[in-house]
Structure 1
Amino acid sequence: MTRTRPPSHADPFDTIEPPGNAELAVSVVSVTAAMVILGVLSGSAVWLLGLLVFLPGTASALCTVTQTRFVATWTTLVVSVTVVAHDDIGVRMLDRVLLVLLTLALGIVSVYACHRRLRREHEMMRLRSTAAAMQRHILHPMPLLTPDVLVTGVYEPVQEDRLVGGDIYDVVDSPFGTRVLIGDVQGKGLAAVGAAFAVIGAFREAAHREPTLTALVDALDAAVMRHNSYAEQTGDDERFVTALVVGIDADDEAQIVNCGHVPPQLVQEGAVVTPLLETGVPLGLADLSDAPATVDWFAFPAGSTLLLSTDGLTEIRAADGTFYPVEERLKDHVGLSPTDLAQALYEDARAFARDEGRHDDIAVLAVRRSPHGLTPPPAKR
């Protein structure tokens, strides 16, 4: 099933699930009992129970504020009672007082640290919710259907230390045929959202206005340049965007402009072909090149599937450092339906990487050429 889903990988901003109160009480009492027994056996109960001062610190990283306060109070009481109850001539009174004060101070600091941790987690959760809502509005959920194509695919941001992915895509049914965009914004997270908004917004507007792909790409480049101009004024980093823009109409050929992006793969009659394309500069860097955007044409008859992806797929590595061979692995999946192709390739790439994980977002689109005249279903309200 095609999907756009949140990541399943670990995230340092995920909220830590605190232990239950009963579980916490049993753990604390067990540790205390172990220290008491070892102290009695060694004859150094005061010094060994001093190790309990580390319990509140552990609780501050795993528990709620109330639970951390309980652990800090318990630890302070146990250490204080032990210091008073044991008349150990080897331990000076000053050392005992310092031990109690140290335990109390660490308990207070642990409660404060726990409060700060939870507040930060809650702030990150609110920020993530906002970022996720923004991203849902930027990217239309797949599958997407026009009279010319059916587009299915997988989109998954890595989100290991970022809130929003940098990959973008869109499909527009324009008066000039279907326009398909896939791109990769330089950088990740909220800092790249502005550039993503700029490109997606410009594409959705210019795709209906510009009759040629070169004019459409020029409009996208101008949008990124305007975004960078504003970013420079506000002290933010400038961005560039690699992109593929594809035009598909009633003809059996398709047009494509490659703006520094990963080349597509064409699945046709059980074979995989990589169209020969001129590669231009990424969006936002047109001023660095004198060559204008170039449109390439390639055969794209009914029943063919054009696979578009970002470098998150091609740069996946196995444990030995080998890059994922997209074209080779795609040949093993050409018999699948277009609705299953992108998902199968994505899962195969994850199996290829095994425990090495991913280091970038992944977007994979399967663009299936439909017989011309197919009417898309009415939009859901």
Structure 2
Amino acid sequence: MFRSTRAAPASGEDDLADRDDGVRTPPTRTVVLVTVAATVVTIVLGVLTGTAVLLLGLLVFLPAFAAALCTPGQTAMVSTWVSVVVVVPVALSGERIADRVVLALFAVGFGVLAVYASRLRVSREGALVRLRSTAAAMQRQILRPLPLLTDDVLVDGVYEPVQQDKLVGGDIYDVAATPWGTRVLIGDVQGKGLAAVGMAIDVVGAFREAAHREPTVTALVDSLEAAVVRHNDYAEQRGEPQRFVTAVVLGVDAGTETQLVTCGHVPPYLLHDGTVTAVGSGTEHTPLGLADLVEEVRTVSWFPFPAGATLLLCTDGLTEARSAGGAFYPLESRLSDRADITAGRLTESLVDDVHAFTAGAPQDDLAVLAVRRSPRRVPE
């Protein structure tokens, strides 16, 4: 279950039709029915009030609504219909010639402008759809769809960028099955925008390459550090600000204990037998890209990861989410209420809960992963 964005309504769930270019427009039958209904209502009101000609003039605005929703062809159909319905009665009426000419010109002119506006709208929407498709393809290359299964772990979760139309944000994750077990990465690039996405691409690429090359988790983290430093060097040459990356890297194999290196990131939480424990607390190291600022060398810590336990990894989009009153999301207490929920449902439940907590106003990218021992293998 990969949820970069909330699912869009499936085809047939509403009255919009999908065009070949991805732009969604009403079916022609619906457009015809609405146009005829609006005309009939206007004529009936005109007859009842004795101002049929004046009320028909209101129909000249109908193509404007069509331009906002319909295809250029549908808009042209509505504009032609309105022009005929308005111009013919006006031409046969006893109004002054100047008034009739002005109303007729309005009807025809509004129709032409509506068709032009519809063409512009559809062209822009098509470009946005193509851009979104490109972003979705890029997302699939950067962040692989969940769940991910290896011989050691099953990883499920939810990923939601704060700007839903961009699909890709600064939060990253990946899972690599290597000769030394499975390595799991979750991270958060400082900042937002395309520059943050560029850093995210470099870090994920470095992880995928180094995870299969480096026999130790600390060497893997050193490779990620080098990738961030190189990216910052290039950014400095372009006059762009340097960035750091917070991250958690796990090493899970067939043993009962798991390796952990935390680089300035939210600590993982272990859910087992109804209890919730923050693991690796007190062993945090500096974020990636800042190692030269301290003398401390990054080391690996170990913690028990028994079968049946769930390890929750998340970014600060969850822990730093705020309510309307400014309170931070109480992750540990909410996890305690969900200690016995299955891994897949756990992440969904937390994301739904944080949406309710923030009243549907996300403030940052959000990534939540639930890691469990793979059903293919149990610890020895």
Deviation, 1:60, is 0.8
* Conservation of the 8 A alpha-carbon contact between 1:206 and 1:216: yes
Q: Of residues 265, 272, 276 in structure 1, which corresponds to 2:269? A: 265
* Conservation of the 8 A alpha-carbon contact between 1:131 and 1:190: no
Q: Give the SS at the match of 1:208.
A: coil
Q: Give the SS at the match of 1:342.
A: helix
Letter matched to residue 2 of structure 2:
T
Farther off after superposition, 148-157 or 114-123? 148-157
Change (3 A) 1:28 1:173: closer
Partner of 2:6: 8
Letter matched to residue 332 of structure 1:
D
Q: Of residues 307, 332, 335 in structure 2, which corresponds to 1:330? A: 335
Q: Give the SS at the match of 2:121.
A: helix
* Conservation of the 8 A alpha-carbon contact between 1:243 and 1:258: yes
Letter matched to residue 197 of structure 1:
I
Q: Distance in 2 between matches of 1:97 and 1:238?
A: 65
Q: How does 1:48-63 map to 2 (within 5 A)?
A: 48-63=55-70
Change (3 A) 1:341 1:293: farther
Change (3 A) 1:145 1:72: closer
Deviation, 1:327, is 1.2
Deviation, 1:338, is 3.9
Q: Of residues 100, 108, 111 in structure 2, which corresponds to 1:107? A: 111
Deviation, 1:58, is 0.6
Partner of 1:83: 90
* Conservation of the 8 A alpha-carbon contact between 2:132 and 2:165: no
Q: TM-score if structure 2 supplies the norm length?
A: 0.80
Q: Distance in 2 between matches of 1:78 and 1:233?
A: 65
Deviation, 1:310, is 1.8
Change (3 A) 1:143 1:19: closer
* Conservation of the 8 A alpha-carbon contact between 1:302 and 1:371: no
Deviation, 1:292, is 4.5
Deviation, 1:284, is 4.1
1:126-155 CA deviation, whole Å, 9 max, x = no partner? 222222222223233434344543333333
Partner of 1:227: 231
* Conservation of the 8 A alpha-carbon contact between 2:4 and 2:167: no
* Conservation of the 8 A alpha-carbon contact between 2:247 and 2:264: yes
Partner of 1:314: 319
Is 1:208 aligned with 2:215? no
Q: Of residues 77, 81, 85 in structure 2, which corresponds to 1:70? A: 77
Partner of 1:345: 350
Deviation, 1:202, is 0.1
Farther off after superposition, 271-280 or 34-43? 34-43
Change (3 A) 1:53 1:355: farther
Q: Unaligned 5+ residue runs, structure 1?
A: 376-381
Q: TM-score if structure 1 supplies the norm length?
A: 0.80
Q: Distance in 2 between matches of 1:373 and 1:29?
A: 66
Partner of 2:25: 18
Partner of 1:368: 372
Q: Unaligned 5+ residue runs, structure 2?
A: 10-17
Change (3 A) 1:218 1:154: same
Letter matched to residue 26 of structure 1:
L
Partner of 2:12: none
Letter matched to residue 308 of structure 1:
L
Farther off after superposition, 230-239 or 308-317? 230-239
Q: Give the SS at the match of 1:209.
A: coil
CA RMSD, Structure 1 to Structure 2 (Å): 3.5
1:61-97 CA deviation, whole Å, 9 max, x = no partner? 11111110011112222222232122135xxx33432
Letter matched to residue 312 of structure 2:
L
1:40-71 CA deviation, whole Å, 9 max, x = no partner? 44454444322222111110111111110011
Q: Distance in 1 between matches of 2:297 and 2:54?
A: 75
Q: Of residues 135, 159, 182 in structure 1, which corresponds to 2:139? A: 135
Q: Of residues 237, 241, 247 in structure 1, which corresponds to 2:245? A: 241
Letter matched to residue 69 of structure 1:
A
Letter matched to residue 184 of structure 2:
V
Q: How many residues in Structure 1 have an aligned counterpart in Structure 2? A: 366
* Conservation of the 8 A alpha-carbon contact between 1:53 and 1:107: yes
1:91-144 CA deviation, whole Å, 9 max, x = no partner? xx3343233223322211211111121122222222222222222232334343
Deviation, 1:170, is 1.2
